[in-house]
Structure 1
Amino acid sequence: MSGEYEGENATLQDYYLSYYDGSFNEFTPCDNIDLKNFGKVFLPTLYSLVFILGFIGNGLVVCVLVKHRNQTNLTDICLFNLALSDLLFVLTLPFYSHYSVVGQWTFGDFMCHFASGFHNTGFFSSIFFMVVMTLDRYVVIMHAHKVARYRTLRLGVALTVFVWMLSLCVSLPAIIFTKVTNESHGLACRFFSENDAWRLYNNFAMHVLGLVIPLLVMIVCYSRIIPLLVKMRTEKKHRVVKLIILIVISFFLFWAPYNITLFLGFLKSKGFLSSNCSVEANLRLSTTVTETLAYTHCCLNPIIYAFVGQKFMKRALPLLKKCVPGILLPSTRDLSDSTYRKSSVMSRSSDVTSNFIM
């Protein structure tokens, strides 16, 4: 998911596509052979790893939730769609991995639009579902008794449709304007629009909708939730606080460096940064590294949002044992909620923490 780097026709992943095929030579006389060779080894290796881990982790989440669909609640619906979003995202990585090795697009115009659509829609829907889960937890914990009756499956379906439609609308310009073009190095799959407004829109979507707003929502909501948890008398509160901090910090650390790098590239394209070869090489290298780091966040989502939960793990362990015979896994009895009970009466503290440790 790249942003606008050189001010040329760009979409979320367009900078990297030009990096793959070496088409930046038309903008600068700098010798970037070493960076291109590094990218041809580094990118396919890391993309393949992210694809495998992301596909297995998110695929398992989808399988578990589908198997237990009769016990579905609003949290499970959000978790299912978050995993589905990450699956859509990682499914495009083999195409871009192949592109980085070959140096040109060989899959045709339809797959160019298709890959761009999956890539962008998967990214934004994943971000938006994380925001929805954050808001849901905030409302449930801060206003538990008022909203309990409204957290129905109908609401979950309505939110699902809304988020997917919003993600598709946000990604629509990239889907429409990304096409196969015949260039000096061969066929390229890139964003092509003569309207500067769409390039500014891409920057807005990537930085504001993809990072700033979600991060602000997490910070505001969780900063209100943590003080309430700290005051509660429950053994789970420390675990929940650590989970909240992990959610916010991981999102920031994985995505902020990439967004900052893209923003520096945008400033360079507008002439605010020097255009010497050293600056360009450093920006390309940092984009290579920070992009791959950002992509790995989709591998962590199943761990952060699903596998830390006792409820989900009790569902997942039998499926894992069935799929991988002989694997050493903890017994579901070890994850029993009884180890956390302090009395026969369910307190508000346990209600609150259960919204995080599912």
Structure 2
Amino acid sequence: MYGPKSYIQHRKFHDCDLRSQPFGIPDGQIIVGAQQQYWIWKPGGPDRFGLNTIAYYQTFFDRTLELKMGYLRNVNEFAGTLVGGSAGASVLAPSANILYQAGMSNNAAPTPAMNVKFNFDDRLYNKVSLQRSLSPDGQQAEITENPTGLNWRTANAGILLVYEIGYKNKAAPGVPETWLRAGAGFNNSSYKNLQYPQQPRGNANSTYYVAADRQLWQSDLEGSAYRGIYGGFSVMYAPPDLNRVSQYYELRLYAKGLFDSRPTDQIAIVATNTVWSNYAVDAALAEGNLVHRDSTAILGTYTAHLAPGIYASVGLAYINNPTSITHTRETGHALNLLVSTSIFF
């Protein structure tokens, strides 16, 4: 057995959103935001200061149709990857980076996009996005080439088309919250082929996902129906010849407002399994590296809502095979202490 390692990971980021209602346009909104992100634990991500979002949101036909366009963060718009749907509570949650590989924009890398959502009723919906893809070489390459987020395009990046259909009802007294969704993304960017690395670029990419969340118990039927215990899962897939991560599985159990004295805090336990591309693994093995074909993790977090827009999270994570595909005998598994503060204003 490899000896466990302990790390302290700390990330600071600040989001600043300015939201206003356009004069004379009912049920519309303009959103402008900037982000400053700094990592003490450098492998966690690149530092940046730049655009977070510039968006115009408008509804039509008594909110049957919703339009959002501008520089968007589609990872917050599709798939529901945030544990419990809370930005503050999700800071330490494992991220399903299959969506990033497929080119989906996010907080650190917004891109031009137009999203259209059609609500069949107050629960059933479908949603489509036409988005400029992230760099097919990954998030690091996108931010390095476009640190401010203002560039209209980056090298080899094309168009990402995302479609999602879902069913979502909000919690009410005696009615548990339920959210079911499934979606797919198709990207015409110029990707490298992992099975035939000597071939020139030009391969289109795709990704697919299903997810579900359900409120299992309501702790405050007469007051705040959202409070209680929830469970959920996510399954994601991407072709192994174009993506280093080919499969992602997640099980989650979380509680909102479990304590009367802390009605907006959240507790989460998340288990994940990430499966690497068999082509990428075989190529690393042929080079004589120590490799693994998947990585599993279990994470527990407590997120405290300290004040409006201010969250603090502490968590503990055990990761089996914490590195990406290749590893050394000293990096078989890790025990991570995670501490995070989030400020939204």
Q: TM-score range with shorter-chain normalisation?
A: under 0.3
TM-score, normalised with respect to structure 1: 0.22
Question: Which is bigger in relative contact order (C-alpha 8 A, separation at least 6)?
Answer: 1
Whichever structure has more strand as a proportion of its residues is: 2
